[in-house]
Amino acid sequence: MFRFSADRIPVLFVLVSSAIDFVVYFTVDNIWWLAGYMLLMIIPKALICAWNHHHQHTLTFLAKPLNRILEFFYALHTGATTNLWVLHHVLGHHRNFLDQSKDESGWQRADGSAMNVLQYIFVVSGTAYYRGYKVGRKFPRVQRDFILFSILTLIGVAFLCWLRFVPALFVFVLPMIISMLFTVWVTFDHHSGLDTDDPFQASYSNTNPVFNFLTGNLGYHTAHHYRQGLHWSKLPELHEKIKHKIPVQLLRDEKFVLAEG
């Protein structure tokens, strides 16, 4: 069922989190309890964003229907529907991150200066679906599923709002928006300020074991760009093979990486 056994625990975490969300949605009416729950879940949902990223690169299950079901729950946590990051990130950013005039997650302004983090957050998150759709023009099959399952997710969220609006707002709608903004915020720190044609000098890497345990080795970002299709569990090994090519100033050891600027 799983393509890689290492995905079992992350998927369990996502599904348990989803189950808790629905229990709260159906049983809690007090707005202050709902707001408190939303704040409590910001960090767990932010971590789920990292695992959704990995899934978009390397599908979790062998069976396509299981992947689509998982992606629905990912969307409720992260605000990113089926194939959004496949188009925007995998087929967009990873192909263009060395060219800021094309990069779907570009950190440069048109005049070549670097955006500050707030501008980056609102530009990239605000255009994510549009840019994903544009990339999809070259990949119609991927775009078709992106549009279809985005519509189905929207219908599902609309139904949850119709059934119980206030719980849906705090358990699903606002967290989806916050998670999207948070996802873009942390990606600012991956490449910002590194204008180069050398892929080994275009990303910061964070080797901290706590950070990589929580995010599925997302800190090994240079290795990830070097072989983006490699499963997240194999990135530390690849990093060891290529780390001699990475400038020392681009290597970090931080438990938490939050973008500044």
**Per-domain residue ranges of the chain:** 5-186+193-202
* This prediction's pTM: 0.93
pLDDT in tens, 50-104: 999 999 999 999 999 999 999 999 999 999 999 999 999 999 999 999 999 999 9
What angle is formed at CA 96 by the lines to CA 190 and CA 6, rounded to 5 degrees? 55
- Assess contact for 78 and 176: CB atoms under 8 A: yes
Per-residue confidence at 260, pLDDT binned at 50, 70, 90? very low
Phi, psi of 251 (to 5 degrees): -105, 130
CA distance 165 to 171: 10
pLDDT in tens, 89-128: 999 999 999 999 999 999 999 898 999 999 999 999 999 9
**pLDDT (0 to 100) of residue 252:** 87
Per-residue confidence at 255, pLDDT binned at 50, 70, 90? low
CA distance 219 to 252: 9
